[in-house]
Structure 1
Amino acid sequence: MTHFDHSFEAKRLAALHRLNLLDTPPSESFDRITRMAARVFNLPIAAVSLTDSDRQWFKSRVGVEHSSIPRSLAPCAGVAESSAALVIADMLADPLYRDSHLARGGVRFYAGAPLVTLDGHCLGAMCVLGMEPRQATPEELAHLADLAAMVMAQIELQHALGRIDPISGLPNRNQFIEDFQDLQRVLPAGSAGMVVLINLATPEQISNAARVMNSSYLDDLVSDGARKVGVHLRPGRKLYHVAATQFALIAPAPASLDGYAAVLAERLSAGAAESSARFVATPTVGVAPFVVGESDCLDVLRTAHSAALDACDCPSRVAVYSRDGDAAYQRRFALLNEFGAALERDSGQLRLVYQPRVDLKSGACVGVEALLRWTHPTLGVVSPGEFMPVVEQSSMARAATFWVLSQAIAQQGVWRRAGLGLKMSVNVSATNLLEPDFVPVIEAILARHRLPAACLELEITESAIMAQPRKANATLEAIAAAGIGLAIDDFGTGYSSLAYLQSMPADVVKIDQSFIRELDGDERRQALVSTMVKLSHDLGLRVVAEGVESASVLTLLERFGCDEAQGYLFARPLEADSLPAWRGAARQGAAPGTPARRGWLAMLS
């Protein structure tokens, strides 16, 4: 070859390798064309043959067991070098090919049409072969050229239209799905494999970086990641760009997943140390095993993503998919869907119960806290501790709070008309504090039932307030201006500053039950609660203790000067119909003029 020929061959090979076709699994889209070629010529052998530097590799083949042959003396190599169709009527009679690998295997007839890219590089040939000498008619050769064009259209489609990511140059999620499905047809059923998903950065990290860096930051991160991950891949292993900052690869399952995870952790650590983005992006790796014939592609990709998220909490930043952990996420997602259906259908699954709040000086019930309960027709009773955190982090937080407020205020209207005047407390979430029409909506519900604003109290946690203090504070001021009461719920478990607490328009502080339940056996906790009560009083706030379950704890709270208490010592959350009778019995037990403790003990004895 001349220097020019060598240069052209180097460019041809570069074009071939850039397409990421070599050593990929069989594909039905190519196999369909190859079967058509064999039928058109009525021959036993057909192939889509790609000419590599030292071999002819078959992307698709019919009637051939091996996946490649040496390039030397291969007719398809002649097609690739000349970019022209080649017909050999009898290979044994041809001086150039009679000693070729094919001729020695009994092949006599060959016809190949070139596979040419849009920029003129020939990748190989669409070829048909027979065991007897024969001629090819012009019509047959035209058909073969059409089939070669179909192969190239499929290659260009995969590479240019939805199969190759333009930034990383890697096969994308669509190609991953197709290759995974093709792999399922090739590997023995029941054999094991795994998908490794590499997450270059968390969404929060990407968002933070985008605030201070230009738009090319993400492109550079992806390009850098693709290059560095590719260095560690074994020959024939294919890397896919499956999401904005996520790569995936399919690999045989190792003998030990834990050992493989350790190797990945070591490589991840070494790669992170070399990366210029290591201070703003934290890569994680998720490993998801699968069984051929039993695993859905998208589900395997999902479980690998789940493992990569779990890896954020691992020191090694590598995690293997956990079935138990995934089941928990699946249940949360199912609960979210089912809760939304319960809200929309008003099927009677949701109801409110009411836990009394007792004034410790008078012994009287002065208010109730409305608590949401959910009984699902098949799941049974679902704990609010399980479903409420999920709901509050979703778009249903607004609808759920609206439902609770509507039901609670309506019930209060019923009680008030019956002569039962109690303050109603309702929990609201951080999302509610960011709603611009939150206060007007509450005022409208109160007006509908002709109730004063002062009969309602909203309970808000410290963490909800501090999530976005400025926006939350504007809503808190609007709540206070409307005359609606405000209580800081779960006090002591959050992270608000004393300066901010001093400026908040709150009326009540509710000390979290984690400080109260074992108060009588812990002197340090007693000192802490006593300080909380005094601090709150100094700020002009009324103090409510949650989770009071014993008389000894009640005695301590009285001594500390706590204003109110709620808990199982007084009553478990009650149905709406049961509250009036309970309150009547409580009033008899705690007679006016007697210490509250004695009255409650007399009623409970």
Structure 2
Amino acid sequence: MTPSTPAESRHQLALEMLKQDDAGRDDILSKFTALASQLLDVPGSFVSVLDDKQQYIKGAQQFALEQTSLDDALCRHTASCGTLLVCRDTLQDARFSTHPLILAAPYIRFYAGAPLRTRDGAVIGTLCVADTKPHEFSQQQVELLELLAAIMTAWLDAWYSSGFRDVVTLLPNRHKLMQDIELLEKLSIETPHRLVLIDCINTPRAYEIARSLGMATLETILKGMATMLRERLKLSKDKVLYSVSTGRFALLTSIQSPDWLGEVSERLGKIHAQVYENISIDLAVRLGEVSFIPTQCPAPEVLRRSVSALHEATGQNKPFLSYDAQIDHRRNLDFRLMHDLATALRGGNDLYLVYQPQISLHSGAPVGLEALIRWQHPELGNIPPAEFLPLVEKTSLMAEVTEWVILTVLSQLKKWVDKELQLPVSVNVNVSDFARAGFADWLETKVHEAGVPIALLRIECLETEKVLESPLAMAGLELLKRQGFSLSLDDFGSGYSNINYLRRIPVDVIKLDRSLIYRLASDEASHTIARHIITMLKELKYVVLAEGVEDEQTLLILKQLGCDEAQGFFCSRPLLPEGLEHWLKGQSKAEG
């Protein structure tokens, strides 16, 4: 077996591999021992694995023993001398005549054992035959037992290679890496170690290369990478480079220099892979590493942390990063929120809607509501939408969120219609929803099923520029318009807003982003910008609604500038349905 740990641990590693239960491997060992019994005409046979304290029996045939102390193991004599040992009658051998396994069960009277050697010469066990009566054992039988032991050792090496080697690069694979880290723990190693992941080709790029140039080309590149990495890192023969997945490699080291990771990154630089004479591929190398003490961190967690560091380096577009527990905690929390949100959408009362009134600046009366999702997590408490919605916007879960909001709004609208309370409610819809096949027809069907006038459900368009970039989303938006839905454009004026897209999107209401509004009363430039935007939008026949109105002075300025509607805490905070009904009654009394 190719060494992948320090020399003094190789023997221990091989023993640990054999000691561990493996149903498939042990089944083959049983077939080997059955063959040995049949060919040598000795009923009992087994494989003995020896460490510094115990003997472990594998693949036993008619041999009722599973484990003994090392002192009681006949096979320790075979292992210590390193050659085949034959004892035709144990009672006639001074070494064994008083042995407990001779005088009591399993009453061994005949024993022959051949050592199982690794490639580097270490004895990891023995292939043995035994009986409860003495036997003669010819030279031919001796040679046959040695041959069977050699075949078994070769098979074990092949088993190791197939299970612990990457088939393309022939480097030790991820399973081998896990085993080597686990061995450090079993050997009670307290010295800090580092696991470094080296990402040369990410998975999407690997698929792209395979699709365009073929699997053979991708495999050639991967083999070249394995050679290139060893050369650039100047790895000695006893230093192991692992292949943990396609295009991703790993180093396990005890080097503790604080600058080492940066030095590794600098040595690797960029990869320039010449595929054909006229085709080359440039690949950026990224590193993620974690420091750990083997006895304090299990192997799966070590790998997980290194993956976390690598993905963070990729996300931040940095050549290398070390594991950061705080960032990792945040990512884990994000993952949990995604899982818990999916559960909340499919039942329970954790999710709910609040409704924020929209006020006419001409009459002062409520003219609409915006539905806003809220999440009261059973363990984490109130989670703001700004924390969980960005996590789902690019996933299939976004469609479930949109549908849950729409169905909840329609249910509430039905209750309000029955109470003769008819205010239109706006819901936010993502570009992925507009582009979804059948979304407009589904929405129209649900409105009719709820028995609600279509004018009471308004659609707010988010991510305007992404909508423009998607022909499917634009088609979905236009279909909603033809079906009679009122459409509004959300967050106009935030970041970069291209005025030209107003000609392309069939909307009725333009919502001015709070970033245009919040300094309206204190900043002359903001006042000038808002005045010109509102004038332009009114000339284009849009209804203009200002978000984020927090004080009376801002409200009055917006009214003077010709803005139609306002929404914000000065008008009203978002309210639960019961609170909204109470607020509306108060508004009616005030108007009266």
> Could you say whether these structures have the same fold, taking a TM-score greater than 0.5 normalized by the shorter chain as the test?
yes
List aligned pairs for 1:178-577, cutoff 5 A.
178-188=179-189, 190-203=190-203, 205-206=205-206, 213-216=213-216, 218-231=218-231, 232=233, 233-252=235-254, 254-256=256-258, 259-269=259-269, 272=270, 280-312=282-314, 316-344=318-346, 346-462=347-463, 465-466=466-467, 468-493=469-494, 497-577=498-578
* Alpha-carbon distance, 1:300 to partner: 1.8
Cα distance in 1 for partners of 2:243, 2:285 equals: 15
Q: Please say if residues 491 and 510 of structure 1, whose CA atoms lie closer than 8 Å, have aligned partners that are also in contact.
A: yes
SS in 1 for 2:382: strand
Give the AA of the match of 1:199. D
Which shifted more, 386-395 or 476-485? 386-395
Q: Deviations over 1:133-187 (max 9, x none)?
A: xx99766765554444333222212323x43222222222222222222222124
* Alpha-carbon distance, 1:501 to partner: 3.2
Q: Name the count of aligned residue pairs.
A: 502
Gaps of 5+ in 1: 1-15, 47-62, 64-74, 77-85, 90-109, 117-121, 130-134, 592-605
Percent identical: 27
List aligned pairs for 1:2-17, cutoff 5 A.
none
Please say if 1:43 is aligned against 2:76. yes
Which shifted more, 358-367 or 223-232? 223-232
Gaps of 5+ in 2: 21-47, 51-55, 58-69, 87-111, 127-135
Cα distance in 2 for partners of 1:474, 1:263 equals: 52
Q: Deviations over 1:47-88 (max 9, x none)?
A: xxxxxxxxxxxxxxxx7xxxxxxxxxxx99xxxxxxxxx769
Give the 3 Å change call, closer, same or farther, for CA 449–88 of structure 1 in structure 2: closer
* Alpha-carbon distance, 1:216 to partner: 4.7
Q: Please say if residues 546 and 566 of structure 1, whose CA atoms lie closer than 8 Å, have aligned partners that are also in contact.
A: yes
List aligned pairs for 1:69-84, cutoff 5 A.
none
SS in 2 for 1:441: helix
Q: Deviations over 1:368-391 (max 9, x none)?
A: 111111112221111111111123
Cα distance in 2 for partners of 1:312, 1:417 equals: 54
Cα distance in 2 for partners of 1:532, 1:220 equals: 59
TM-score (norm 2): 0.76
Provide the alpha-carbon RMSD of the alignment: 3.4
* Alpha-carbon distance, 1:318 to partner: 0.5
Aligned match of 2:26:
none
Q: Deviations over 1:404-446 (max 9, x none)?
A: 1111011111112212111111112233223212122212221
Cα distance in 1 for partners of 2:581, 2:120 equals: 86
Give the 3 Å change call, closer, same or farther, for CA 296–528 of structure 1 in structure 2: farther
* Alpha-carbon distance, 1:468 to partner: 4.8
Aligned match of 1:81:
none
Cα distance in 1 for partners of 2:125, 2:425 equals: 83
Q: Please say if residues 197 and 286 of structure 1, whose CA atoms lie closer than 8 Å, have aligned partners that are also in contact.
A: yes
Give the 3 Å change call, closer, same or farther, for CA 506–203 of structure 1 in structure 2: farther
Q: Deviations over 1:8-38 (max 9, x none)?
A: xxxxxxxx86x97995751412467642698
Q: Please say if residues 491 and 511 of structure 1, whose CA atoms lie closer than 8 Å, have aligned partners that are also in contact.
A: yes
Give the AA of the match of 1:458. I
Q: Deviations over 1:190-238 (max 9, x none)?
A: 4321210111134454566667655555334423322221221343221
TM-score (norm 1): 0.74
Cα distance in 2 for partners of 1:552, 1:377 equals: 40
* Alpha-carbon distance, 1:260 to partner: 2.1
* Alpha-carbon distance, 1:577 to partner: 0.9
Aligned match of 2:45:
none
Aligned match of 1:150:
152
SS in 2 for 1:577: helix
SS in 2 for 1:281: strand
* Alpha-carbon distance, 1:298 to partner: 2.1
Cα distance in 2 for partners of 1:266, 1:201 equals: 17
